[in-house]
Chains A and B, each alone.
Chain A
Amino acid sequence: MRAAWLLCLVALGARAGDPLPPAEAAVWLQRMADAARHVGYEGVFAFQHGDAPLQSLMVSNRPAPAGKDSRLLAMDGEQREVRCSQGISLSMQTAGGQVKVERRLNSRHFPDLLPANATPLANWYNVRLGEVGRVAGLDCRQVELTPRDAFRWGYVLCAEKETGLPLKAMMINDAGKPLMQYAFAEVKLGALPRNAPPPAQTASEAARPVAAGRVGVKSLPPGFTRITAVKRQLPNKPGEVEHWVFSDGLTHISLFLENAAQPVETLRGQSKLGMINMLTRQVGAMQATILGDAPWPAVEAIAMNLEARPGTVASGK
């Protein structure tokens, strides 16, 4: 009887497919990250957010000394294009015959989802290898990233057998439900697409680095660091705000700081599928909006660890 109980406990603690040792996990993560930048490819992939309509994009990448030279082109709906070259990412949208060009603060997109240095992720995710599958006519190995805590979503990737390029990626919640899915429908590896030079000028003002802030963060969830802190103008919003971004390399959480003209009502927001969480609160004299495609505990942990720096006057409720 006691043995049955112990057997149950052992079984409950067990996992399907043992996680790779950290060193081996790091090798797989880095291999996939490098492939997305250093392999030339062009193809078409589809992506879906939850149960939203499927969308398709054309993507191409040409290995470049300064990273990647990639182009992303929406094939459905409005004409949209993203160009990433020499560390600069531009978004171009055509509407009413006008091309609106904006500079993006980040250049990641499928299949380049992992950070340039992916090895630290092995500290925060268990990595398991799954079966060999087939995507877009190519063999790929399933790689499962299971978070070790509640601060990040899980991922299931399928890495092309020879190069390690992710041919498929799925972000899943803690119940294993897909939140976001990408998959190549067709892809040609080893291609050296000639992307036209990106526009020389951008329509939007470049973001400026933030000086000493009036708000500090006492602590962050494990593995998260501040990767960006700029002053910028937000679309359709007057004035500038501070935009900070915290990340573990895969999960990104934004913090927007601005002067609170009046007491700020504390609001929690959540997208229908739970993928995006946000909280608006007052910190000293500032309004803080924390927002990310991250589980609520991660957004909450950052929000609750904000503190006003000395010299600021609290006026909130």
Chain B
Amino acid sequence: MTNAMKIPAQHAQTEDDNLSALFDGELDDPGARAILKDLSRDPERCRRLAEYALIGDSLRGLNRDAPHLTTRVMAALEQEPTVLAPMARPRDRRPALWLAAATVAAITWGLWSVSPRQDAPAAPMAAAPGQAGNVLPYLEAHQDFAQAVVAPSEMQFTRVNLAGVGQ
């Protein structure tokens, strides 16, 4: 989701790349038209497009009802009438794509800007014995409100750096 130059569809390496690029609004007009044309004839690719949408939803915490989505997409395609009218110019479509892309980018940025930045190396580490001992009282105290109590050994910890946040 950047202002990167649009890539022709034929340069994309795989079909998945094409679908991903389409969803991100990164294809040029002929490329987008070609993918959309294929899409209406290829249920499998439409299913993958649905998955890309779900991934986007997941990133925004909106991922729901995944098992039914493909069915609905397929049903919608089956009911689609054959369109004989001339195609509208791609320019009519693309602003909507850019808008969607920009919205996702803004949400991603909004989350990223307040997220703790992980120091390098930032590989998760199991709770060290001392650390586990430090965490246990909090886990126990929270159990008055929690639905489950986990042992400190079930927790994984990562050092993070609160860059840009006043402490």
A, B co-complexed: yes
Q: Give the interface of A toward B (CB within 8 A).
A: 1-5, 7-8, 10-12, 14-17, 49, 89, 104-106, 108, 113, 146-147, 149-151, 154, 171, 174-176, 179-180, 232, 234-237, 243, 245, 247, 252, 254, 256, 265-272, 275-276, 278-279, 281-284, 289, 291-293, 295, 297, 300-301, 304, 307, 314, 316-317
In the bound complex, do residue B138 and residue A291 qualify as a contact, i.e. CB atoms below 8 Å apart?
yes
Partner of A106, one of B145, B157, B159: B145
In the bound complex, do residue B155 and residue A4 qualify as a contact, i.e. CB atoms below 8 Å apart?
no
Q: Pick from B1-9, B10-18, B110-118 the stretch touching chain A.
A: B110-118
In the bound complex, do residue B155 and residue A278 qualify as a contact, i.e. CB atoms below 8 Å apart?
yes
Contact mask for chain B residues 66-81; partner A; CB cutoff 8 A; 1 contact, 0 none: 1111001101110111
B87 within 8 A of A: yes
CA distance A151 to B111 in the complex (A): 12
Contact residues of B between 138 and 158, Cβ < 8 Å to A: 138-142, 144-148, 150, 154-158
Q: A2-B87, A12-B50 are in contact. List 8 more A-B contacts (CB 8 A).
A: A7-B79, A8-B39, A16-B65, A176-B66, A234-B138, A270-B155, A276-B146, A281-B167
Q: List 12 A-B contacts (CB under 8 A).
A: A1-B37, A3-B81, A4-B77, A11-B72, A14-B72, A174-B61, A176-B67, A267-B158, A271-B150, A271-B154, A291-B139, A300-B115
Smallest Cβ distance from B24 to chain A, in angstroms?
Answer: 15
In the bound complex, do residue B36 and residue A266 qualify as a contact, i.e. CB atoms below 8 Å apart?
no
In the bound complex, do residue A105 and residue B145 qualify as a contact, i.e. CB atoms below 8 Å apart?
yes
Partner of A254, one of B50, B138, B160: B138
Nearest B residue to A107 via CB reads: B144
Give the tally of cross-chain contacts (CB within 8 A): 192
Q: Which of B66, B87, B140, B150 has the most CB of A within 10 A?
A: B150
A12 and B137 in contact (CB under 8 A), knowing A5-B93, A7-B77, A300-B114? Answer: no
In the A-B complex, the 5 residue pairs with the closest CB atoms: A150-B61, A4-B40, A16-B68, A252-B145, A234-B137
In the bound complex, do residue A307 and residue B166 qualify as a contact, i.e. CB atoms below 8 Å apart?
yes
A266 and B161 in contact (CB under 8 A), knowing A8-B49, A235-B140, A281-B167? Answer: yes
Smallest Cβ distance from A303 to chain B, in angstroms?
Answer: 8
In the bound complex, do residue B161 and residue A10 qualify as a contact, i.e. CB atoms below 8 Å apart?
no
Q: What residues of A have a CB within 8 angstroms of the CB of B120 in the complex?
A: none
Q: What residues of B have a CB within 8 angstroms of the CB of A236 in the complex?
A: 136-137, 140
Q: What residues of B have a CB within 8 angstroms of the CB of A4 in the complex?
A: 36, 39-40, 77, 80, 83
Report, as a range, how many residues of chain B touch the other chain: 35 or more
Nearest A residue to B90 via CB reads: A2
Q: Give the interface of B toward A (CB within 8 A).
A: 33, 36-37, 39-40, 46, 49-50, 53, 58, 60-69, 72-73, 75-77, 79-81, 83, 87-88, 93, 111, 114-116, 124, 127, 131, 135-142, 144-148, 150, 154-162, 165-167
CA distance A167 to B77 in the complex (A): 39
CA distance A49 to B147 in the complex (A): 9
Nearest B residue to A109 via CB reads: B147
Smallest Cβ distance from B106 to chain A, in angstroms?
Answer: 15
Partner of B156, one of A1, A180, A269: A269
Q: What residues of B have a CB within 8 angstroms of the CB of A89 in the complex?
A: 144
CA distance A127 to B58 in the complex (A): 19
In the bound complex, do residue B40 and residue A266 qualify as a contact, i.e. CB atoms below 8 Å apart?
no
Partner of B148, one of A150, A180, A266: A180
A304 and B114 in contact (CB under 8 A), knowing A11-B73, A295-B61? Answer: yes
In the bound complex, do residue B167 and residue A282 qualify as a contact, i.e. CB atoms below 8 Å apart?
yes
In the bound complex, do residue A268 and residue B39 qualify as a contact, i.e. CB atoms below 8 Å apart?
no
CA distance A127 to B53 in the complex (A): 22
Q: What residues of A have a CB within 8 angstroms of the CB of B49 in the complex?
A: 8, 12
Q: What residues of B have a CB within 8 angstroms of the CB of A270 in the complex?
A: 124, 155-156, 158
Smallest Cβ distance from A198 to chain B, in angstroms?
Answer: 16
Partner of B147, one of A11, A17, A180: A180
Q: What residues of B have a CB within 8 angstroms of the CB of A234 in the complex?
A: 137-138, 140-141
